[in-house]
A and B are shown apart, each in its own frame.
Chain A
């Protein structure tokens, strides 16, 4: 039936980290089998599969996964959308169910990055003879000559622009974001790193791109996450115990970046996040004040701070005061990234936008163990992929 409410039936993720002994399909299979098992269903219940990976986008990940978990002939969508890849896979399944084409579907996000190190930023190759090439007629790589192309730098600039436009934001506020997320990760056995650092250690860690030090940047790593989504009608045919653990998808939104002046040289990560959040709040009838926890895209500490504002978690311009007040700490008014966030839980790119739905789902079910936010009923997930794409999901505990 089209237009139905969609629910999360099962969810699973591997611990994020490094798995040199496994390949990417193994990781995807582990998360997929885990999600189906968690939902009490098998591959024979699944009507559609969406598989997200960025670095293996052309590898036919979905079909390769089927060979490991069951080839049933269902439609497969291979999805790639930068750091929003996982959220896009999830939304692909969501749309199939909403369209009435599927009753139940599996969305998986996976990445195996190993120790890739710094992302983006071309090496500056001095050609033997200068010849203009590309859309800008460049005669050499411009990274480091015409600004930075690396991710820590691009997101540093996003944060510094916020600092330029608003009071009360500086190095210390950005560092405090990382302090919080490292602290949170000590309670999450699925996090890549589970170590607390002092403010001093964070601020004195090697500078990558000021104001982001090494401890304010997410690591690269391996991991997978998967969810089983189900239609309302099909959910009601399942045992009561299964229904009780289901989590409602109250909003699923994907946006891209509208034109803004300056977007051609510095990606605007704000407008599309604001647009996605606004639409998600409208669709769900839920406001930021109703949220019990948020998992947002803290690829760098500078990114998390500005998304407090973009998602409406704080007053406009008030992100510095918000972190200083302690509000986004797990014992604060608006817990953010209680998983440890990308900074400490890790960021295997394709997995991230499914893993944050796993995290919120686990809290809404009351199954998050030591890191449980007590009484959590509503949560929001957010990812952003540069280029740009933003995915926001709002999840609600079953009534």
Chain B
């Protein structure tokens, strides 16, 4: 682990928590429990203004997907874009990764969050992304 710590790294988005076991964080409405990946001035579901930070479960099922063959020139295709539902009921969008063949993506398949390095900047800082792989 000490070797890894020598390389500075940042999460691709601020709701990805890298330390300990990587997981996602949400701003959860203290009143109705709705979860948001971005900051909210008031809750989109109920209008309340108090939030707590809540951890999202890493296990999920594949609720929907698309195998994307055409995208902006800088985006590598094909890839499996996924809408997953975590075991604690939060919907997340990311890619299904680690499939030998993209046609293995199947609705309802069990998945698990993983992280991987998706880029390095000019200072040598690594960008860490998250995706979902077969559980």
Residues of A whose CB lies within 8 Å of any CB of B are 118, 121-130, 132, 135-148, 150, 152-153, 156-158, 160-161, 163-164, 206-212, 259, 261-262, 264-266
A125 to B10 Cα, complex, angstroms: 16
B129 to A: closest C-beta gap in Å: 5
Query: B83 on the interface (CB 8 Å rule)?
Result: yes
A118 to B69 Cα, complex, angstroms: 12
Chain B residues with CB under 8 Å of A262's CB are 83, 85, 91
B67 to A: closest C-beta gap in Å: 4
A128 to B123 Cα, complex, angstroms: 8
Q: A129-B125, A139-B10, A146-B95 are in contact. Are A259 and B45 (CB under 8 A)?
A: yes
Q: A206-B69, A209-B66, A259-B34 are in contact. Are A145 and B15 (CB under 8 A)?
A: no
Q: A145-B12, A145-B118, A265-B83 are in contact. Are A130 and B69 (CB under 8 A)?
A: no
Q: Contacting B119 at CB < 8 Å: which of A118, A126, A146, A150?
A: A126
Chain A residues with CB under 8 Å of B83's CB are 147, 157, 161, 262, 265-266
Chain A residues with CB under 8 Å of B74's CB are 123-125, 141
- How many chain B residues touch A (Cβ–Cβ < 8 Å)? 53
- Asked whether A157 lies within 8 Å of B127 as measured between CB atoms, the reply is no
A-facing residues in B76-123 (Cβ within 8 Å): 76-79, 81-83, 85, 89-95, 107-108, 118-119, 121-123
28 A-B residue pairs with Cβ-Cβ distance under 8 Å, sorted by A, are A122-B72, A127-B121, A128-B121, A136-B13, A138-B13, A140-B119, A144-B72, A144-B95, A147-B95, A150-B70, A152-B68, A156-B66, A157-B64, A157-B66, A157-B81, A157-B83, A161-B83, A163-B107, A164-B108, A206-B69, A206-B70, A207-B70, A209-B66, A209-B67, A261-B89, A262-B91, A264-B36, A266-B83
- Asked whether A265 lies within 8 Å of B125 as measured between CB atoms, the reply is no
B31 to A: closest C-beta gap in Å: 13
Chain A residues with CB under 8 Å of B37's CB are 136, 264-265
A91 to B: closest C-beta gap in Å: 24
A123 to B72 Cα, complex, angstroms: 5
- Asked whether A130 lies within 8 Å of B125 as measured between CB atoms, the reply is yes
Chain B residues with CB under 8 Å of A212's CB are 66
- Asked whether A140 lies within 8 Å of B66 as measured between CB atoms, the reply is no
- Asked whether B13 lies within 8 Å of A142 as measured between CB atoms, the reply is yes
Q: Contacting B91 at CB < 8 Å: which of A137, A146, A153, A265?
A: A265
A351 to B92 Cα, complex, angstroms: 34
Query: B21 on the interface (CB 8 Å rule)?
Result: no
A169 to B: closest C-beta gap in Å: 10
Q: A153-B81, A261-B34 are in contact. Are A139 and B127 (CB under 8 A)?
A: yes
Chain A residues with CB under 8 Å of B36's CB are 264
A154 to B: closest C-beta gap in Å: 8
B16-31 CB contact bits vs A (8 Å, 1 = yes)? 0000000000000000
A-facing residues in B46-65 (Cβ within 8 Å): 63-65
Chain A residues with CB under 8 Å of B123's CB are 129
Chain A residues with CB under 8 Å of B127's CB are 130, 139-140
- Asked whether A144 lies within 8 Å of B15 as measured between CB atoms, the reply is no
- Asked whether B91 lies within 8 Å of A266 as measured between CB atoms, the reply is yes
